[in-house]
Amino acid sequence: MLTNRRDVEIEFGDCDPAGIVYYPNYFRMFDASTAHLFEAALGMKKIVWIRRFDIVGIPVVETGATFTKPSRFGDVVSIETGVTELKRTSFVVGHRLFNNGGLAIEAREVRVWASIDPDHPERIKSRPIPPEVIAALSR
């Protein structure tokens, strides 16, 4: 499966009063990393592939992380992101965040390929992941 790597500089606003990254901010970084993975796989920005495949997005339905090393203001961390499992309408994304060469966090997200429910326009509904997307992520 395709893996994407990106570097992120920890900013002052990412941190709590103890001077370490406030843990919900990691999930914001991971969400952006998932978008970067899809951009690398599909060759287009998120706004474009959302329109191209007529979906509302790829919402998270389950998540979790193991934190083993803190990150602080000014650190430059590397995040490796890849799909670890592809199903019909959902997929699992794995993230590994490295700080100063050491593994600091392992996280996972379960996401669904989602569009507006035609029978209930106020709701969203999962739908099959297109073969083109599966092929791009499977490289």
Catalytic residues: 16
User: Could you tell me the sign of the dihedral formed by the alpha carbons of 48, 49, 54, 55, in that order?
Assistant: negative
